[in-house]
Chain A
Amino acid sequence: MALLTRRSVLTGLGFSTIIGTTAGLVLSPSFRDLALGSGEKLAYQTHRLIGRNALAPEFTEADMSPDFRTNGNTMPKSSDYQRHMETDFANWQLQVDGLVSTPKAFSLAALKAMPARTQITRHDCVEGWSAIGKWTGVPLSALLSQVTLLPSARYLVLHCADDFSGDAYYESIDLVDAFHPQTILAHTMNDQPLSVGHGAPLRLRVERQLGYKQAKYIMRIEATATLAATGLGKGGFWEDQIGYDWYAGI
């Protein structure tokens, strides 16, 4: 009888777990949100565990997309940006501030004078398409070494010039990606100055994540201890607005 009892207890537990979890997913929006957030956390931790410093695949010129389509905003509306565009970004400056010991501003000429990295990589949109292009820019780590992050800094928030209905685009990455050798601030694409459609004068390339992380029209980089204080607190425009995962490595 002891065996029968043990078996029926296990059967009951097993089936009630399946039925209970399913009922929770169907009936309770808060349980559903909580449960469905776990995939992102597990992916983030797993990817950091197995390939913290792994390099994204790089391609040859023969592999490049003949036509690299644009996406998202392709013409920022702000008058500030329009003025910079008309003067070829001659007076444009990138602000680097927040939790850094020496905040600094960099002109486009200064950024272009810094040692650059060129990489031919694949850009993957969250919607499913991919395009391969050639990017040249300043490794973000080189910029960070000039401003020195404070020990409390955990994230970099990239503030952009474009907006959707008045809500400014922004994105954020952790420090593993910030110091990754392929993470660059690209000013050149396919051997040409970065076009307005693709994010002139400066866009982020964070090659192990999806397209919406590759912030265009960067105006300011802010080192922060938390993501809660920017926008609606989820670490990016699309994360805030429609619930894309902050970690977009999958």
Chain B
Amino acid sequence: MSITEPMTMPTQTAAKGGDVVDRHRLSTRLWHWTNAITIVIMLMSGLMIFNAHPRLYWGAYGANPDYAWLQIGATEANTGFVRVGSVTADTTGVLGRWTDSDGQVRNRAFPSWATLPQSYNLALARRWHLTFAWVFAVGLAAYLIRSLLNRHLQRDLLPTAEEIRPSQIWSDIKHHAKLQFPTGEAAQRYNILQKFAYLSVLIALIPGMILTGFTMSPGLNASLPWLLDLFGGRQSARSLHFIFAMGIMAFIVVHLLMVVLAGPINEVRSMITGRYRLPKEKN
């Protein structure tokens, strides 16, 4: 239930439900927990950075006098709101205007429970964000190099011709909707929905996050000006960075939900010790 490297079975006989198998390599497990901490830090510090200017624009420039396609704020009538285009939703208490743990009412976009640090501090949020970006980068580079060399990406994540047949995908969706997860030997491999989820994170969201992050740096704009053309300007890159972050957040929510539904103790144990008990076949 995570970006993993299932090990090939050393035994000759096929594994069956109830067997305990080696599922995640040590490097995978260490990378997983480093990422878990890093991504929480980057998401929460990112929300604090957003709080410094809770407006998003398209194009090269964008500031208070310009049209923002997304805005989170507080009205003069003391309500909090989120506006996307011309649609405004009242979000008093959660976004725009909320009460902190000391009972103080604050006019800020994201509430203190969602940000790092908890109370407004752009300087510190930037330090968390821009330092842990390096932790993330080093881990990702090591993962990609290793996964390309040991053919993990091609072997375990690339969908097979069989799997991408519409009937096959549809049957997988139906099984997921009924919360019927693979059992026995089949649970050793990723199913097609897992492959899609992990590949979209690996191929789209993570590169998108990194490159739009680079595009917001005036220093890197000088060295890598083509990034501005790729994303349509710095403010477009900032908007996309936020949208991709919401995508990562959605992935994490689904990921955690699946862990809970698939048996949290077995799943979490497999990501700590590497050992996983294959779910029993149902008759």
Using a CB–CB distance below 8 Å, which chain A residues touch chain B?
7, 10-11, 14-15, 18, 22, 35-40, 42-43, 47, 50-51, 54-57, 59, 63, 65-69, 122, 124-132, 207-210, 238, 242-245, 248-250
A129 touches B55 (CB 8 A): yes
A14 touches B26 (CB 8 A): yes
B223 touches A50 (CB 8 A): yes
Query: Which of B90-98, B128-136, B143-151, B251-259 forms contacts with chain A?
Result: B128-136
Measured CB to CB, the nearest residue on chain B to A130 is B61
Residues of chain A within 8 A of B130, CB atoms compared: 39-40, 43, 245, 250
The 7 closest A-B pairs by CB, nearest first: A249-B219, A51-B223, A39-B131, A128-B53, A129-B63, A54-B222, A67-B65
Contact of B63 among A39, A65, A238, A245 (CB under 8 A): A65
Offer 13 A-B interface pairs, CB within 8 angstroms, sorted by A.
A10-B26, A15-B33, A35-B131, A36-B131, A39-B133, A47-B223, A51-B223, A56-B218, A65-B61, A130-B235, A207-B222, A209-B218, A244-B123
CB distance from B202 to the nearest CB of A (A): 22
B221: interface (CB < 8 Å):
yes
Residues of chain A within 8 A of B64, CB atoms compared: 69, 129
Residues of chain B within 8 A of A14, CB atoms compared: 26, 29-30
A57 touches B222 (CB 8 A): yes
B37 touches A131 (CB 8 A): no
B53 touches A210 (CB 8 A): no
Interface size in chain B (residues, C-beta < 8 A): 46
Question: A36 with B55: in contact, given A209-B219, A243-B123 (CB under 8 Å)?
Answer: no
Residues of chain B within 8 A of A248, CB atoms compared: 218
Which of B50, B223, B238: most chain A CB closer than 10 A?
B223
Residues of chain A within 8 A of B219, CB atoms compared: 43, 47, 51, 208-209, 249-250
Which of A55, A131, A207, A250: most chain B CB closer than 10 A?
A250
The answer for the CA separation of A111 and B179 in the assembled complex, in Å, is: 74
A59 touches B223 (CB 8 A): no
A130 touches B223 (CB 8 A): no
Which of A47, A130, A248: most chain B CB closer than 10 A?
A130
Question: A124 with B131: in contact, given A18-B33, A63-B60 (CB under 8 Å)?
Answer: no
- Per-residue 0/1 for B47-80: is the Cβ within 8 Å of any A Cβ (1 yes, 0 no)? 0011011010000111111100000000000000
Residues of chain B within 8 A of A47, CB atoms compared: 219-220, 223
Residues of chain B within 8 A of A39, CB atoms compared: 127, 129-134
The answer for the CA separation of A57 and B132 in the assembled complex, in Å, is: 27
The answer for the CA separation of A208 and B225 in the assembled complex, in Å, is: 12
Q: Known contacts A50-B223, A130-B235, A132-B61; can you find 5 more A-B pairs with CB under 8 A?
A: A37-B131, A43-B217, A47-B223, A51-B220, A66-B66
Contact of B127 among A7, A11, A40, A238 (CB under 8 A): A40
A131 touches B52 (CB 8 A): no
Using a CB–CB distance below 8 Å, which chain B residues touch chain A?
26, 29-30, 33-34, 37, 49-50, 52-53, 55, 60-66, 121-124, 126-134, 216-225, 228, 234-235, 238, 272
Measured CB to CB, the nearest residue on chain B to A180 is B222
Residues of chain B within 8 A of A210, CB atoms compared: 218
Which of B34, B121, B220: most chain A CB closer than 10 A?
B220
Question: A127 with B61: in contact, given A18-B37, A42-B134 (CB under 8 Å)?
Answer: no
B53 touches A132 (CB 8 A): no
The answer for the CA separation of A68 and B61 in the assembled complex, in Å, is: 10
Question: A242 with B123: in contact, given A208-B218, A208-B222, A249-B219 (CB under 8 Å)?
Answer: yes
CB distance from B46 to the nearest CB of A (A): 11
Residues of chain A within 8 A of B223, CB atoms compared: 47, 50-51, 54
Question: A59 with B60: in contact, given A36-B131, A128-B52 (CB under 8 Å)?
Answer: yes
CB distance from B241 to the nearest CB of A (A): 10
Question: A130 with B234: in contact, given A47-B219, A65-B66, A249-B217 (CB under 8 Å)?
Answer: yes
CB distance from A83 to the nearest CB of B (A): 32
B63 touches A69 (CB 8 A): yes
Measured CB to CB, the nearest residue on chain A to B54 is A128
CB distance from B176 to the nearest CB of A (A): 31
Residues of chain A within 8 A of B33, CB atoms compared: 15, 18
The answer for the CA separation of A209 and B60 in the assembled complex, in Å, is: 16
CB distance from A203 to the nearest CB of B (A): 16
Residues of chain B within 8 A of A10, CB atoms compared: 26
A126 touches B52 (CB 8 A): yes
Residues of chain A within 8 A of B29, CB atoms compared: 14
